[in-house]
Amino acid sequence: MRIFFTGVGGQGTLLATRFVGEAALEEGLAVLMSEIHGMAQRGGVVESSVVIGNGLSPTIADGEADIVVAFEPLEAARALPKCNPKSIVITGITPILPFTVTIGQSAYPDRDSLFGMIRPLVSKLLEVDADGIAKSSDAQRSSNVVMIGVLAGTGLLPISRGSWERALKKLLPENLIDQNLRAFESGFKAGFETA
Amino acid sequence: MHELLVAPTDKPLFLLGNEAIVRGAAEAGVRFVAAYPGTPSSEIIDRFSQLGPEAGIYVEYSVNEKVSMEVACAAAVSGVRSLCAMKHVGLNVAADAFMTLAYVGVKAGMVIVVADDPLLHSSQNEQDSRSYAKMAGIPMLEPATPEEAYRMTLEAFTISEKFGTPCMLRTTTRVNHCRGPVSVGPIARHEKKPGTFVKDPFNLVVIPAVGRKLRLAQIERVKKLQAESEKSAINFTSGKGLLGIITSGVSWLHAQEAVRGLEIESSVRILKLAFTNPCPKALVREFLATVEKVLVVEETEPFLEEAVRIVAQEAKLPVEIAGKGDGLIPRAFELDAVKVKSAISNFFDVPFERPDGIPAPELPQRPPNLCPGCPHRATYYSVKKVFGNEAIYPTDIGCYTLGVLPPLKAADFLICMGSGVSTAGGFSTVLDRPVVAFIGDSTFFHAGIPGLINAVAHGHKILLVILDNGTTAMTGHQPHPGVELTPAGKVEPRVSLEKLVRGCGVQRVAVVNPLQVKKTQEVLTDFKEKMDESGVSVLISKSPCPLYETRMLKKKKKVVFQVGEEPCKPCGRDCLTVLGCPAFSVEASGEGGERVRIDEALCSGCSVCSQICDSIKPKKLP
Ligand code: SF4
Ligand code: SF4
């Protein structure tokens, strides 16, 4: 199982990826996670991956992602080369305008046409209002955890509820656990309903 | 207790390759660690710096990689286990120390971690540092996963101590920044005792006569190391069949996945090498004798491939060898399982259907950018206002390198750390144009000082702008000798940048706060007029990195800036087209009109834009 994550610096992509990795480990699965640090953090694209299974390479070649989790719509489209017709794409719906757009060098594509372009190319596209769900669960800053909740809720990964929760508790400081559990829970429900 | 010092349980830890190295070294009883940060190696020194006091390990952020290697080797020569870590290009800086330390050797284990960066994720080149180990004749281990990084760090200390030579642990980004399960062992209570130094100048002071003797000893040592690599358990074969693959590091994982994916496990034998210098020739020879064809799978240079070809030639083996030479395995950039599958399919003649690729759509780019409120942006803005596009802007390595992007476009030349100031001297000599060089404070300490002294000594007509944000921001805000902000509050810097610059003989020195735009431009204009005279001018543009300042002083944002209600004036839009703070965006207003908006959440309150445009006003936050 190969899961590719993509987002924009500041969206909590790496923490979310690590959450998936820790949960897989809690479940006793063979797991490797790969992340790219450095320049990417200054508002650029942040990409990471989790591969679950023995003897796999930690990176995901073009066309080899089983699941893509995109925290931003434009980045979902940019990740298309990682997909194949069987891939499942879970994407956030709130655009973050790249700087090239804000200074008027290029235009941000219409979101519906972005999704319209992705949908026929993959087996399933899940659009998740992660910010909205986070807000209504009183966990504004946990949109990234909502997204992972959705991933967990779809049941695509062989990871039990208990492992997810243990991983989250392990990762976060005491004072952030409750709100993130709420965010995870709401995401999980949303993911479960689509499955 | 630091999470990397926990006692082992039956559950593995989920560690970054870099963290696995830290844990391995802690278990091995390392007592002295030094490094200059550099992606992808930085977390090694960062984690050590967090746990050092608790674990009884001396940890320093050295001024550069050469210094880090030198301080660490002194510890190891005094019988104290030491480690230094650097990115690949850091080894270039340390190479002088490295090459002769390989002659002199060490008394206690010394591990030199060198992190290569294939695909240049955050580097200026993708050099393959393995050649350095060969050139220096020191042992080298190449882990493939965090688990291996942990085990091989322990192994590297043992080898180093056994043979009295530093041992290189060579990683790549995909090992350093890969996270995986690591089953750790206990951290023994190592007694903290002072080092011991036995005076022995005729083995430790490398005058030519000593160097000659040590050179012969080094050659003998390489032979012994070779015997060690032959029997090392970290080199191993798996599978059986007449098709062979020789590989190392993360390429091993790509190769394994490829073999499995192509369903040829029953006909392929893999020789997985990790002790790759000196090359275990007998082991390779035995392997070559059992297969008909061999594909060498490795990233960047054909380091193993050449060694394998030599073995085949020496033993006159008829085996067919392929790799980079035939272009099957690409020489540039990272490998992945698909690239390896296609090489295997070609060379071993097995069918492979490439996954149906989806072509990359045309999308707006999302380049990284200086943060909102970054003082570098303000400096660049003012410098460009005063010096325009006529001036040549050699630059250096740090966050501020991002000034290369539009709209700032304040970078014309860069090769390595410290090159900004030295190349400025060269440019100013042969060009009849103003030359303004940029360098960050940390980079200045690292490699800028000799270049500045050189410019002063030769009367080069340059302006050097030191972008002093009080930290090593780019790699994660590590300290340097001029640090003033610490978790304990504001302190006197150990080394004052201004005194240092004056001490280098610079006559025209000024310190400005770039967030004061008018003042900064006045000083720059003054410098510009004086630049016709020969000699070096230095502007220290001093304002802390806001991210670092917030973290150190726990400062809360009190004010943000907003564009006034009435539609903005039709203007040249300096705010967007010259300054370009990422907090700005353009939005439609009125009929077909547009206005600039400032995102309150992004704005840091630096006030620079409000000094450029009257429509921009402060807004107090509760
Ligand atoms: S981290 Fe600091 S120095 Fe670097 S771009 Fe951001 S504000 Fe500027
Ligand atoms: S004050 Fe202006 S320049 Fe500074 S961060 Fe805010 S919007 Fe950007």
Q: Is the pTM for the entire model greater than 0.90?
A: yes
Residues of the domain holding B604 = 559-620
Q: Does B180 touch chain A (CB under 8 A)?
A: yes
pLDDT confidence band for B190 (50 / 70 / 90): low
Residue B410: pLDDT above 80?
yes
C-alpha B256 chain-centroid distance: 28
Specify the residue with its C-alpha closest to ligand 1, atom 1: B473
Same domain membership, residue B214 and residue B256: no
Average pLDDT over residues B203-228: 98
- Give the closest residue to A50 by CA, choosing from A78, A7, A89, A16: A16
Same domain membership, residue B327 and residue B277: yes
Residue B537 belongs to a domain: yes
A36/B177 CB distance under 8 A:
yes
Residue B589: pLDDT above 80?
no
Residue A60: pLDDT above 70?
yes
Location of structure tokens 């491939």: B305
Residue B364 belongs to a domain: no
Q: Does B356 touch chain A (CB under 8 A)?
A: yes
Same domain membership, residue B330 and residue B213: no
Give me the pLDDT at residue A37, please: 65
How much is the ipTM here?
Answer: 0.96
Residue B172: pLDDT above 70?
yes
Same domain membership, residue B85 and residue B141: yes
Average pLDDT over residues A96-105: 84
Same domain membership, residue B180 and residue B166: yes
Write the residue in B336, B337, B399 that is nearest to A42 by C-beta: B399
The average confidence (pLDDT) of chain B is 95
Same domain membership, residue B164 and residue B44: yes
Residue B366 belongs to a domain: no
Location of structure tokens 């085949």: B312
Residue B416: pLDDT above 80?
yes
Same domain membership, residue B425 and residue B542: yes
CA dihedral B512, B513, B518, B519 (to 10 degrees): -30
CA distances from B448 to A135, B431, B535 (A): 49, 22, 17
Give me the pLDDT at residue B578, please: 87
Distance between Cα A44 and ligand 1 center (Å)? 13
Residue B140 belongs to a domain: yes
Q: Does B81 touch chain A (CB under 8 A)?
A: no
Residue B359 belongs to a domain: no
Residue B314: pLDDT above 90?
yes
Residue B193 belongs to a domain: no
Task: For each of the domains in chain A, give its residue range(s) and CATH number, in order of start.
Answer: 2-194 (3.40.920.10)
**CATH code assigned at B387:** 3.40.50.970
Same domain membership, residue B241 and residue B103: no
Give me the pLDDT at residue A36, please: 82
pLDDT confidence band for B17 (50 / 70 / 90): very high
Judged by average pLDDT, the poorest of B79-93, B143-157, B267-281, B355-369 is B355-369
Residue B361 belongs to a domain: no
AA letter at B568: C
Residue B523 belongs to a domain: yes
Summarised one tens digit per residue, pLDDT across range B531-570 is: 888 899 999 999 999 999 999 998 889 999 999 877 676 6
For residue B337, the chain A residues in CB contact (below 8 A) are 56-57, 61, 64
**CATH code assigned at B328:** 3.40.50.920
Same domain membership, residue B526 and residue B446: yes
Give me the pLDDT at residue A39, please: 57
A34/B174 CB distance under 8 A:
yes
* Helix B449-457 / helix B419-430 crossing angle, nearest 10 deg: 20
Q: How many domains does chain B divide into?
A: 4
Same domain membership, residue B260 and residue B220: no
Same domain membership, residue B225 and residue B139: yes
Residue A41: pLDDT above 70?
no
Residue B517: pLDDT above 80?
yes
Residue A40: pLDDT above 60?
no
Average pLDDT over residues B171-186: 97
Same domain membership, residue B580 and residue B477: no
Tokens linked to B83:
């480690």
Three-class secondary structure of residue B269 per DSSP: strand
Q: Does A103 touch chain B (CB under 8 A)?
A: yes
B356/A63 CB distance under 8 A:
yes
